[in-house]
Amino acid sequence: MPTADEIAHELESFYTGYIDAFNREDVDHFSDCFALPYAWVTGDKGLMTVANEGAHQSGFSRIMIDLKERGWARSGVDRFKAYVFADNLAMIVADYSRYKADNSILEQGRATYTLRRDGKSWKIVTVSEVKQPYLGPGDLPR
């Protein structure tokens, strides 16, 4: 059985690959990071379930179109923290920055992800935004 530190390292590697796939617009790798179904949980819209691959790819396309229209070139991870609940269940809190082509910051944010190990792979089962000025799990400073 892996230790919590070993699992946290796996999750950090997973998240690095997830962001890399997002930046490369590698739909296949990015899609493989999610369990189906998975959910977005927001204060504004509540629970939004993504039930299948078609819905996932459609949502990814909408996100990319919106970001590119606003000048997005890439995203980066500013802070990463993993909370291990079991050998197959965990939460990630990540601060991110989205950059324009000139490396100026388009936006910054914080998100939480609940993940479960599906066989040998970690998969995202929920995504939530932590809006300013709130800190979210762990009260990590921004």
* 103: in domain: yes
* 141: in domain: no
* 142: in domain: no
* 106: in domain: yes
* 131: in domain: yes
pLDDT at 119: 87
Number of domains in the chain: 1
Sequence-distant (≥ 6) Cβ neighbours of residue 118 within 8 angstroms:
35
Q: What is the pTM of this model?
A: 0.93
Q: Could you give the CA distance from residue 83 to residue 114 in angstroms, rounded to a whole number?
A: 9
* 73: in domain: yes
* 121: in domain: yes
Sequence-distant (≥ 6) Cβ neighbours of residue 137 within 8 angstroms:
83, 91, 93, 112
* 15: in domain: yes
Q: Could you tell me the CATH number of the domain that includes residue 36?
A: 3.10.450.50
pLDDT digits (tens), the chain, 142 positions: 889 999 999 999 999 999 999 999 998 999 999 999 999 999 999 999 999 999 999 999 999 999 999 999 999 999 999 999 999 999 999 999 999 999 999 999 999 999 999 988 999 999 999 999 999 998 888 8
**Range(s) of the domain holding residue 14:** 4-135
Whether the Cβ atoms of residue 89 and residue 70 lie closer than 8 Å to each other:
no
